Structure 1
Amino acid sequence: MSDREDQDAQPRKRMRLSTPDTGEQAAVTVSTPAEPADRSPKTTATYAQESQLEKEIRAGITAYVNPHAPGFTGILKQRYTDFLVNEILPSGQVLHLESLDVPQQTQNTDRRKAAETESTGPVEQPTKPGTDSEAVSENGNGDAQPIGAEGPEKNGAEQSPEITLEDTQLLHSLFGETTTTAITALYRQVLGKPGRKPRDLPSVKSDAFADKEQRTSAHQTIRRIFCSRLETTTENDGTFVISAAPPRDRGRRGGGRNQPGTRGKGKLGWDELGGEYLHFTLYKENKDTMEVIYYIASQLKYATKHFGFAGTKDRRAVTVQRVSVHRARAEELARIAKNLRAGSKIGDYKYEPRGLELGDLAGNEFVITLRDCRVPGDEAAATREHAWNVLNNAVASFKTGGYINYYGLQRFGSFATSTDAIGVKLLQSDLKSAIDLILDYSPAALAAAQDTSSEELISHDDKARAEALHIWRTTSDASAALAILPRKFAAESNIIKHLGFKDRKGQLIRRTDYQGALQAVPRNLRLMYVHAYQSLVWNNVAGRRWERFGQEVVEGDLVLVHEHRDKEEGHGEEEEVDQAGEVIIRPAVHDQAGSRHDEFARARPLSKQDAESGKYTVFDVVLPLPGWDVEYPPNEIGGFYKEFMASERGGRLDPNDMRRKWKDVSLSGGYRKLLGRPGKVEFEVKEYEKEEEQMVETDWERLVKRKESEVFHSNEISKAAEQIMEVDTEGEGKPREKKIAVVLKMQLASSQYATMALRELMKAGNVQTYKPDFGSGR
């Protein structure tokens, strides 16, 4: 059994309910009705061993919008089908898996293009002469055509793909009409004689670009529009040179393990399908997003960088999201899909001209089943009617007042050392300590790994991790450590490989190259550490802001300029609204850690007159994530940023000094709304008896029901049912006590946490997470 299979299988052996402890950390006061006042701190617990409530307090999650509203208890994620997540597309449509089939039109075009690729070459056709120097030509009927749409090329040539009017205008804005004409003429020559060496073709020079971002945009534009057939360089004097790129083998799919496939037909072949990016819907049960993408990429022999998605989704859940891949055929993905592990499906294929990026969604719709629910005044026996009345009032308050838009505990990891602690070390430029924390492990996990008779319930992967890291720490033997370390621990593996590299004499020559070791860690993991620190600061500031001013809008509160154009006249330049509907809006600056280099937003403080005008509500207020390119509130909340960040817990950092020489830890910051408010909330109260009873249908179940009379055989239906339903053979024939379940459907904007919304609705300690009976040991 592989590590990944073992990871999936183990939690099914024994399960337990993790009920939050009532312990509290020292020097922290939280006023909630569910908390007793006299509790002693836990002084020896690691982060992974702390209770849910302790972790929330440690992460700054302390306040409630309406602390006096009645809460209720319930078990979250007792079954992974109790947590359904469906992306909301930018159009506002909720995404569902509709079909596993390849559309007939796409299928026919795919087969034809594949056949053309394998043939001796495209059919030769004549071309209209005399058009090389013109930006717009005429076809045989005398009609004007866009650049590059003149028609088929000469013998053996590739057909010139059409350059859209939008791209033509972009080229004109960057290079001017004369240079654009010369560039397109060069492109036709490259396609007309693809075997010619670049030095035998002319090059085109343009004026220098004074602005670095404009120069970068020019490089990317040429590469994208001309399908990498042209390359760009910048001379010493700043002159921009466009020349033919070295010829590549474009007649066959897959130029290498890390290169996406081509069709041998240039951009036009993909445009005929709809675009170079194949979008598909990924349905997964109890799996990480990247787990499925890694497998698909390995089968296509692509690097994962050629895949795009709007955001990762929960593991212990049933989730539906869109994914894009550059230059892959739908038929090929459909073939790979047949070998996906149980619980993963892909379908709804469509070619698009653009790939997906993080944030390309309006939000997520959650359908959450909370089991064994108890409501106030109903401790003795649950009644459906009573539960509905209490829930109705709680949901009404929740919809109106919203919830504090805290970052959830997922942001801070599950290891013995929280991710924000590593981020602090990176921002302190203490790279050695950051590595030590990443490579930290639990003594309990090591003891369980070394004692074969141990009954400590720690997963196989976590015991192997502890043993491998202990070997590295005590012997510096990278080979021995890596032989044991499970592959999924990418950060630890890459650090050990780098630090443990030996020269021909067997000497460790990178043992103190800490920045090099951290740079070997996948970038998304590196950024996770510093972003977790930002989240910690934001959570603590949000709690202080709410405790001091509540729903009142006060002088110095920040609002986003672009959201209030009608109110903001005279207050800075207007910015475009983020079409992805992001709640977090980050400045697009070239050295920001992990930013999307597109739209950005600015905030301004409200004057006393603004705050008292009634034009703004608390839902307009934003708080900055610490960085060098944000505005801090010019009031006592701004002062609290300095106070908290200067403390031991805050890393003794300065909010106004967030630039670092290493760009990956140079934080420009961003803004996040103080309050979140669900776009749609519905609930249903159900009675149930069997623990395995499922309350809602998944997309896959609906699809099976719809298709069972058409294409699915009975054994496939049975297999699908087995994946979703667990059969309980114990206690048959015995009367069962009826329990109450609450099925909650709500829509949240992207980057908002469903667990934080549930926390407001259910109150402190009432969200009881059902988890495997294995300590993480990390």
Structure 2
Amino acid sequence: MLLSFSYVTDHVGFSGTIKNSPSDFIVTEIEMPQHALRDIRAESLHKNSEALTEQSSLCLQQPKKLRTEPAGLCAEGCGGGSVPSPSERHPGRAGSECSASPNETRREGDAELESGLEEDSVFESLLGKPKSELLHKFACHLKDVWDSESNADPSTEEFSLGPVLDKKNRADLHSAVRQKFPFLITVTKDNEMIVKGNADYRELCQLVTEKETSDFFKFLDAKVENSTFSFEPDGNKEHRKVVHHFINRRFGKLLETKSFTVTDVNDQSNMSITVRFREKSWPRKRSGGGFQEKQDLYTAFTLQKENLETLEAIGFLAAELGVLPSDFSYTGIKDKKAITYQPMVVKKVTPERLKEIGSKMEKKGMRIHNIHSTFQHLRLGQLKGNHFDIVVRDLKRHSDDSSADLKDRISEAMENVKTKGFVNYYGPQRFGQGQNVQTDQIGLALLNEKMVKAVKLFFTPEDTDDPVNNAKRYFLQTEDAKGALTMLPEFKVREKMLLRALNRYGVNHEGCAKGWLSIPHSMRIFYVHAYCSKIWNEAASYRLKIYGSQVVEGDLVFLEESGENISLNDKVHVVTAPEESANKYSINQVVLPMVGHSIKYPNNKVGQWYHERLSKDELQMCKFRVPSLQLNIPGCYRPILKNVQNLSYFLEGSEKGIEIEDNDLSESKIALHISFDLDPSCYATVCLREIMKCDF
């Protein structure tokens, strides 16, 4: 995939081999600290596997400035009117928050943009951008009405999200609305989702600050067992009674309240109301073994796998546990030819059950560590990056290099990449390296809505004689989905799902479309993202070939300092001619778009290249939405260059544990040990390619 692609560094490099064995390539996910995970539990959403949800948070207290945008739009937040001061309602309380504006993202959103994560927000993904914007405007309008009319009825105005047929999509939307706009509630009427104001939120806002109200409803929505929520200290006993009464009246079956003595920073005692879930409020059922367990059960674990794809490993686990692949959540796809460690969460499986299958999974190349109960799925935002420990063997100078010794070449390469970084290409494993049909080809067929072609590409066999490829070969020859189904091993879950649908609906356009719909959304969109990644790689190569490391007029640059309350597109600035002349920006700020329906292209030769390239694949009119497959590709931006962190290395002799002295370097007997960290969505093989100046 990378043979004609560019480099950003100018050192000579060296040659060698990687992945001689899985133990030569070890990948470990860098997890968020546990305290950070606890902090985001109440705010996190269930993610679709391989799909990014762009998280938003509450904005800070509004600056005291006039609204400058037209009515109906959010300037600093959802509500620019005057809010009755909480201190007027009860002494000692102040501060107010509004819900995030439609374009607000956290600093975490900046990191997601920089890392090139490919999925948009839950709202835009499931509703589309126009409907998502209308939802935000409705939320802002409702808050404006509340702020200007003290007796406004929260339930008088409604907004329809339209019919949402898929049950999981409805659940994701319900959760997304509650987390983003705690002052709204959602109801479903015959698959149509309706949004309206939350009367309970409105009433509680009259008693406590809006920040407390928002935090309380997020606590209520998260339903984390054994968790508690405390209101701010309140010395007014009569006021505390009112708050107690409100919570018991509205949520008494679910929650219980109690006042506790607390001490402030000045060692002054005060009283605070603490809320917790009642023990009986947790749904329980009796399992076959006679013990009690929660209905919504999640078990977290660390998966160690060797010489297995992530989705293949999940297929094995799902088949053995009797659950669906979509019941697993994880934060990224890991290399096959490696030993990898990554956190996972599985739904509807007890820790005891997971422990039972440990020995069987070891025979498949997997080990399961650190098994424990948890409260929800993982999401992409929880991934900080990956740590790599790699051994490069068979080290040699390049065949045309005789001007320096090998150790100098290695040292030069390491320091150069440590300083200048590497071109941020997607690695070959993104596309199914070495396969007869690569994933981007399937993605292109899906974008062109060539459903039958996409199915046949999916079932194209490799040149091996094994049950899986024999079943694929048989299906392509006969189109006998039922017969091919009986030939496939149980762990080939995706293939079996698709074949069952094809057997029911037929191997025609409509039947193949329903077949693709039968597999999880994250797997469908995986192929389309592979195609988008291929286009990005080619665009980056073209950009560096014609302009090099110079930032030129029309380039897109990411403005980190541009603030939080603006859209991702507004954070991407088009370089002007005066800015080019002044060398205002560096190549490290230049981004290129991942194709989609909501991105802008460079205003130079690179933008023209995009249009010509998409025309070549008959996508010049593509809207990057495939309604029949529920696929929505808004696009995003990915930096051309990335930096490597914590890079270290040493040389070792072929005899294990013997380091090579400076004067005892023999090319045939040494190995290079490299350790480094990369941000999410960066590829170690691409970083190694820049270091060594060779392709794998």
TM-score class, shorter = 0.5 to 0.7
Q: Separation in 2 of the partners of 1:237 and 1:70?
A: 60
Q: Separation in 1 of the partners of 2:193 and 2:673?
A: 66
Match of 1:288 among 309, 312, 315: 309
Specify whether residues 253 and 621 from structure 1 end up closer, same or farther in structure 2 by C-alpha distance, changes over 3 A only. farther
Q: How many Å apart are 1:220 and its aligned residue?
A: 2.9
* Cα distance per residue 1:653-699 (max 9 Å; x no partner): 2277434433544421111111121112111111115xxx5999xxx
Q: Is the 8 A contact 1:252 1:264 kept in 2?
A: yes
Specify whether residues 627 and 251 from structure 1 end up closer, same or farther in structure 2 by C-alpha distance, changes over 3 A only. closer
User: What is the aligned partner in structure 2 of residue 438 from structure 1?
Assistant: 458
* Cα distance per residue 1:186-219 (max 9 Å; x no partner): xxxxxxxxxxxxxxxxxx9944532639997783
Q: Separation in 1 of the partners of 2:302 and 2:193?
A: 48
Match of 1:305 among 326, 331, 350: 326
Match of 2:285 among 236, 252, 266: 252
Match of 1:219 among 171, 174, 183: 174
Specify whether residues 362 and 459 from structure 1 end up closer, same or farther in structure 2 by C-alpha distance, changes over 3 A only. farther
User: What is the aligned partner in structure 2 of residue 81 from structure 1?
Assistant: 23
Residue pairs, 1:103-252, within 5 angstroms:
206-210=155-159, 212=161, 219-220=174-175, 232-234=187-189, 250-252=283-285
SS in 2 for 1:501: helix
Amino acid at match of 2:327: H
User: What is the aligned partner in structure 2 of residue 679 from structure 1?
Assistant: 645
Specify whether residues 331 and 523 from structure 1 end up closer, same or farther in structure 2 by C-alpha distance, changes over 3 A only. same
Residue pairs, 1:10-49, within 5 angstroms:
none
Specify whether residues 498 and 79 from structure 1 end up closer, same or farther in structure 2 by C-alpha distance, changes over 3 A only. same
Q: Separation in 1 of the partners of 2:625 and 2:440?
A: 18
User: What is the aligned partner in structure 1 of residue 5 from structure 2?
Assistant: 62
* Cα distance per residue 1:528-554 (max 9 Å; x no partner): 221121111111110111112221112
Specify whether residues 484 and 627 from structure 1 end up closer, same or farther in structure 2 by C-alpha distance, changes over 3 A only. same
Q: Separation in 2 of the partners of 1:316 and 1:662?
A: 35
Amino acid at match of 1:480: G
Match of 2:524 among 523, 526, 531: 526
Specify whether residues 339 and 529 from structure 1 end up closer, same or farther in structure 2 by C-alpha distance, changes over 3 A only. closer
Q: Separation in 1 of the partners of 2:594 and 2:613?
A: 13
User: What is the aligned partner in structure 2 of residue 428 from structure 1?
Assistant: 448
Q: Separation in 2 of the partners of 1:291 and 1:656?
A: 31
Amino acid at match of 1:88: I
Specify whether residues 89 and 436 from structure 1 end up closer, same or farther in structure 2 by C-alpha distance, changes over 3 A only. same
Does structure 1 residue 407 correspond to structure 2 residue 426? yes
Q: Separation in 1 of the partners of 2:507 and 2:6?
A: 50
* Cα distance per residue 1:282-324 (max 9 Å; x no partner): 2233333344444554555443333321112112211111122
Does structure 1 residue 745 correspond to structure 2 residue 667? no
Q: Is the 8 A contact 1:279 1:322 kept in 2?
A: yes
Match of 1:395 among 407, 411, 414: 414
Residue pairs, 1:168-567, within 5 angstroms:
206-210=155-159, 212=161, 219-220=174-175, 232-234=187-189, 250-252=283-285, 263=292, 277-298=298-319, 300-326=321-347, 329-342=350-363, 343-349=365-371, 351-376=373-398, 386-413=405-432, 414-441=434-461, 445=463, 458-461=464-467, 464-465=468-469, 467-501=470-504, 513-561=511-559, 563-565=560-562
Q: Separation in 1 of the partners of 2:435 and 2:543?
A: 30
Q: Separation in 1 of the partners of 2:319 and 2:456?
A: 32
Q: Is the 8 A contact 2:284 2:295 kept in 1?
A: no
Question: Structure 2: 5+ residue runs without aligned partners?
Answer: 38-138, 147-152, 165-169, 199-249, 254-279, 660-665
Specify whether residues 338 and 376 from structure 1 end up closer, same or farther in structure 2 by C-alpha distance, changes over 3 A only. closer
Specify whether residues 761 and 254 from structure 1 end up closer, same or farther in structure 2 by C-alpha distance, changes over 3 A only. farther
Amino acid at match of 2:532: Q
Specify whether residues 324 and 207 from structure 1 end up closer, same or farther in structure 2 by C-alpha distance, changes over 3 A only. farther
* Cα distance per residue 1:391-442 (max 9 Å; x no partner): 1111111111211111111122243222222222222222222223223346
Specify whether residues 264 and 205 from structure 1 end up closer, same or farther in structure 2 by C-alpha distance, changes over 3 A only. farther
User: What is the aligned partner in structure 2 of residue 110 from structure 1?
Assistant: none
Specify whether residues 222 and 263 from structure 1 end up closer, same or farther in structure 2 by C-alpha distance, changes over 3 A only. farther
Q: Separation in 1 of the partners of 2:614 and 2:411?
A: 41
Q: Separation in 2 of the partners of 1:643 and 1:554?
A: 20
Q: Is the 8 A contact 1:499 1:513 kept in 2?
A: yes
Q: Separation in 2 of the partners of 1:517 and 1:608?
A: 51
- Return the index of the structure with the highest Cα Rg: 1
Specify whether residues 628 and 291 from structure 1 end up closer, same or farther in structure 2 by C-alpha distance, changes over 3 A only. closer
SS in 2 for 1:410: helix
Q: How many residues align?
A: 488
Q: How many Å apart are 1:84 and its aligned residue?
A: 0.6
Specify whether residues 218 and 659 from structure 1 end up closer, same or farther in structure 2 by C-alpha distance, changes over 3 A only. closer
SS in 2 for 1:500: helix
Q: Is the 8 A contact 1:553 1:618 kept in 2?
A: yes
* Cα distance per residue 1:371-401 (max 9 Å; x no partner): 1111258999xxxx94332211111111112
TM-score (structure 2 length as normaliser): 0.60
Amino acid at match of 2:566: E
SS in 2 for 1:281: strand
Q: Separation in 1 of the partners of 2:678 and 2:557?
A: 20
SS in 1 for 2:158: coil
Q: Separation in 2 of the partners of 1:560 and 1:253?
A: 54
Moved more, 632-641 or 345-354: 345-354
Amino acid at match of 1:70: V
Amino acid at match of 1:688: S
User: What is the aligned partner in structure 2 of residue 184 from structure 1?
Assistant: none
Q: Is the 8 A contact 1:427 1:665 kept in 2?
A: no
% identical equivalent positions: 29
Q: Separation in 2 of the partners of 1:217 and 1:497?
A: 26
Select the structure that is richer in strand.
2
User: What is the aligned partner in structure 2 of residue 628 from structure 1?
Assistant: 597
Q: How many Å apart are 1:353 and its aligned residue?
A: 4.5
Q: RMSD across aligned C-alpha pairs, in angstroms?
A: 4.6
Residue pairs, 1:656-735, within 5 angstroms:
657-662=623-628, 664-689=630-655
Q: Separation in 1 of the partners of 2:614 and 2:295?
A: 53
User: What is the aligned partner in structure 1 of residue 693 from structure 2?
Assistant: 763
Specify whether residues 553 and 476 from structure 1 end up closer, same or farther in structure 2 by C-alpha distance, changes over 3 A only. closer
Specify whether residues 659 and 221 from structure 1 end up closer, same or farther in structure 2 by C-alpha distance, changes over 3 A only. closer
Q: How many Å apart are 1:231 and its aligned residue?
A: 9.8
Q: How many Å apart are 1:356 and its aligned residue?
A: 1.0
Question: Structure 1: 5+ residue runs without aligned partners?
Answer: 1-54, 96-171, 180-203, 268-275, 446-457, 503-507, 567-571, 576-586, 588-599, 697-735, 768-778
SS in 1 for 2:2: helix
Amino acid at match of 1:574: I
